Amino acid sequence: MKPLDTDADPRVVGPFELLARLGEGGMGVAYLARRIPLEGRSDELAAAYNLIESDDVESDASRLVVVKMIQPDLLDGEPQARERFGREIDAVRAVVSDRVPALIAFEEDPATAARPWFAMEYIAGPSLHTLVKEAGPLGVGPCAALGLALVDALRAIHGAKLLHRDLKPANVILGPDGPVVVDFGLAVLIERASSQALTKTGVGVGTRPYMPLEQYQDAKHVDRPADVYALGATLFFALTGRPPYPYGPMPSEPKWEGVTPSFLPLLGKVLVAAPGQRPDLDAVETSLLDLLAGADLTPQVAADQLRTLVESAGLTPQLPPEALTDHVDPAVQELAQKAIDADLPDVDPGFFGLIDTDDIEWAAEAPGQADADGTGASTLTPVDPLPEQPEEPQPQPAPTSYRLPPPRSPEKPEDPSSTVAQAPPRAAQKVAARLRERYAHRGSL
């Protein structure tokens, strides 16, 4: 964790105050941040930034998050950078698990945002890489607990029809509630059309010491066994302090020196060159449970051992002073208020709190009509609702504040001439435009 660069780093992003730099990679920069309380704007912010509100408003106002922003030099120099960043947002949003950070907010349309960003849950703890390098390799119990947590994380990721493709010790954070898998920058749909994929055939993406041979040769066509291999390579590092193949995957066996004997049968099956010969996640889980039983340990005892080891190592990053107080600098709060006012002008603050799913009707264009990018997909266009009939009052569902579900089938109005002609506020038009484009292209990441 490093102080902000006052010349390069923004102070405020959306409704968040940036506090420190957590790290950066080829695609983005990650910051520690916290929510800035802005009175009277919660519903509007929720609609504009897809902000997920907590039931406990007071704690949510000072909740720490990680804000990830696209590298500024990629905005003009890398044509696919925005789309890749948008797909990372979609990947984080799709996976719901205690082993994956929750998405908190995001800029809806990375294609048009000045500098795309998203915010996710902050996990307080060191990475697995840091823990092993500083405190030494893990024992049987903690390593098996780590493996079971990674199985849970990959199950959730694969359940969302995604692959991680970059599981490694640096992308495993050991938080207070156990290991959490982060960084979906290379995530990809398992079932994707070739025309939708951003990775080219024959190109290897990921981290060489932790990727299997098939990913090194052609990352576009890998499947679940690639993530299983990365799980095994991560456990190998946890036991030895080194990856199985420091310079990249090889068809031969790795050097097993330092690997705990009880882990040899499992890792010997996982770290093989042929993906079809690797066990699936269920088999990996069974092997880990058998391994714990052989060591006279339960999964809970092993998890407690891992948690105690992390706490005793004292490697959790130290937070900056601003993160330890609820006080927000008035100058920062004013800066955030001005930025949001500039982004969403002329809006009634109560407008977004009144949006509900039955207040918007959707009209589909004729089937086969080309949309804006010429794909031929039908587009969805919001139209004004019919005025409510006094003699037949309709029950109103509970309002939603931050997310609109996919459009329902349109109903034909009895009298089209009676539709309301008044245009919605500009902020509502902005949200509607984003929804039109997202739902028109919702089938791919």
Start-end of H helices in 356-445: 426-440
| CA 29 to centroid of chain Cα atoms | 14
Coarse DSSP helix, strand, coil percentages of the chain, rounded to the nearest 5 percent: 40, 15, 50
Tokens of 71: 């590298």
Going by C-alpha positions, the residue among 52, 136, 93, 51 that lies closest to residue 313 is 136
Beta bridge partners of 180: 173
Residue pair 136/91 in contact (Cβ under 8 Å)? The answer is: no
Buried b (16+ CB within 10 A) or exposed e, 214-240: bbbeebbebebbbbbbbbbbbbbbbbb
Strands (E), 101-177: 103-106, 117-121, 162-163, 172-175
Residue owning tokens 């008044």: 422
Residue owning tokens 């082993």: 99
Q: Please identify which of the residues 166, 218, 341, 356 carries the catalytic annotation.
A: 166
Residue owning tokens 């909740």: 63
Strands 12-13 and 16-24: antiparallel
102-108, long-range: CB < 8 A, 24+ apart: 102/52, 103/52, 104/51, 104/52, 104/63, 104/65, 105/14, 105/15, 105/16, 105/49, 105/50, 105/51, 105/52, 105/65, 106/49, 106/50, 107/14, 107/49, 108/48, 108/49, 108/50, 108/431, 108/434, 108/438
3-class DSSP assignment, residue 70: strand
Position 181, amino acid: V
Residue 379 φ then ψ, to 5°: -105, 165
CA distances from 403 to 60, 127, 326, 356, 389 (A): 18, 32, 27, 9, 27
Position 415, amino acid: D
Residue pair 144/297 in contact (Cβ under 8 Å)? The answer is: yes
Rounded Cα gap, residues 256 and 267, in angstroms? 10
Q: Is 346 a catalytic residue?
A: no
Beta bridge partners of 189: 162
Residues carrying an active site annotation: 166
